[in-house]
Amino acid sequence: MIKQNRLVYLTLLIAIVISVFPLYWMFVIATRTNDVVGQYPPPMTPGGELGANVARLFEAEQANFALGMVNSAIASVAVTVSTVFFCSLAGFAFAKLRFRGRNALLVLILGTMMIPVQMGIIPLYMVMVKLGWQNTLQAVVVPFLVSAFGVFLMRQYALRAVPDELIEAAIVDGSSSFRIYWSVVLPALRPGAAVLALFTFMGTWNEFIWPRAVLEADNPTVQFSLSQLATEYYTDYTLMFAGTLVATLPLLAVFIVFGRQIIGGIMEGAVKA
């Protein structure tokens, strides 16, 4: 039994080393000079060039990395705040208010989750051209202000977390439905809303394909900047890796602080699905 347990720990340890090593490697190369990157045996410990590489990163003309970081920060915060607000509001309506066509509309929302995003990328781009939004930040923000996944998640959460008696009591008190949402439902939804916020923020920060289609290299998001590094400076590994490191740090921080909630969110979602 003990032997078997050792084998379990060993296997899991190997899995974690494989999971974490590329992140560590990202850090090692970002702190080195280019001439050691191809050496065998490869360098396994960090060097002292991180500052210099990050400085080069922000000076790399084709990448516009600083602007990419700022754009992604603005877009991610805007999409997250708006998604949490609109999805919790709609989730509350679907879970707790009675109205004609409720179930049909909910099924419709679920159905939209099955549609692959890339299908609509060309016409979506043409819509942006019509609106004059190519190469603007709103093009990567406005279409994503509310998500089907979020509405469904918030509805499921509201069903469990908000007792009907609480809402009935508020109605008897004469509260309007928005007041009920704001002061009764939203506080109760907080844990679920936090999970939605985490996923939305991570998803928006990491989004690549749509920004690549609608933005230009002079006004990129951070992932677009990374792809510019990989395209324009593909022999300069320390520069590219400094970019991936800086681009990953915000999410690494989020993960270390909220890792438990993220894991809980994935596992709970899985049980319900």
Partner 1 sequence: MRPKGGHAKRVAASSLRSRMDKSVSPYIYIAPFFVLFAIFGLFPLGYTAWVSLHDWQLAGDSTFVGLDNFAALFADPDFWNAVANTLGMFVVASVPQLLIALLLASLLNRPLRGLTFLRMGVLAPMITSIAAVAIVFSQLFSRDAGLANWMIGLVGVEPIDWQADKWSSWTAIAVMVDWRWTGYNALIYLAAMQTIPRDVYEAAELDGASKARQFWRITIPMIKPAVIFTVIMSTIGGMQLFTEPLLFGQGELSGGSLRQFQTVAMYMFQQAFEEFDYGYGSAVAWMIFILIVLVALVNFLVSRRMSGVDK
Nearer CB in complex with partner 1: 29/78: 29
Tell me whether residue 15 or residue 166 sits nearer to partner 1 (CB atom): 15
* Cβ nearer to partner 1, comparing 58 with 255: 255
Q: Work out whether 270 is an interface residue with partner 1 (CB under 8 A).
A: yes
Q: How many whole angstroms separate alpha carbon 133 and alpha carbon 176?
A: 38
Q: How far is CA 32 from CA 50, 78, 250, in A?
A: 7, 36, 22
Residue choice 1, 2, 9, 104 for contact with partner 1 (CB under 8 A) = 9
Among 2, 40, 165, 172, binds partner 1 (CB under 8 A): 40
In 62-215, alpha helices (H): 65-96, 102-112, 121-131, 148-161, 164-172, 177-180, 186-206, 209-214
- Cβ closest to partner 1, residue 22 vs residue 51: 22
Contact at 8 Å (CB) between 162 and 97? Answer: no
* Contact range with partner 1 by CB under 8 A, out of 47-55, 73-81, 146-154, 158-166: 146-154
Specify the stretch interacting with partner 1 by CB under 8 A; choose among 48-56, 158-166, 188-196, 256-264: 256-264
- Interacting residues with partner 1 between 186 and 245 (CB under 8 A): 202, 205-206, 208-209, 213, 223, 226-231, 234, 237, 240-241, 243-244
User: Could you tell me how many residues of this chain bind partner 1 (CB under 8 A)?
Assistant: 93
Cis peptide before 22 (omega within 30 of 0): no
- With tokens 């009591």, the residue in question is 169
Residue of 52, 55, 110, 117 that binds partner 1 (CB under 8 A)? 117
Q: Quote the crossing angle between the two packed helices 148-161 and 65-96, to the nearest 10°.
A: 50
Dihedral through CA 118, CA 80, CA 106, CA 181, nearest 10? Answer: -170
- Candidates 2, 48, 123, 165; binder of partner 1 (CB under 8 A) is 123
CA dist., res. 228 & res. 233, Å (int): 8
**Among the listed residues 1, 2, 107, 119, the single contact to partner 1 using CB under 8 A:** 119
Q: Which of 161, 149, 143, 175 is nearest to 92 (CA)?
A: 161
> Is there binding between residue 2 and partner 1 (CB under 8 A)?
no
Q: What are the residues whose beta carbons fall under 8 Å from the beta carbon of 121, sequence distance 6 or more?
A: 209, 210, 213
Among 58, 67, 143, 261, binds partner 1 (CB under 8 A): 143
CB of 230 to partner 1, least distance (A): 5
Contact string (CB under 8 A) for partner 1, positions 61-100, x = contact = -------------------------xx-xx-xxx--xxx-
Check residue 161 for interaction with partner 1 (CB under 8 A): no
Distance of closest approach, residue 160 Cβ to partner 1, in angstroms = 16
3-class SS of residue 244? helix
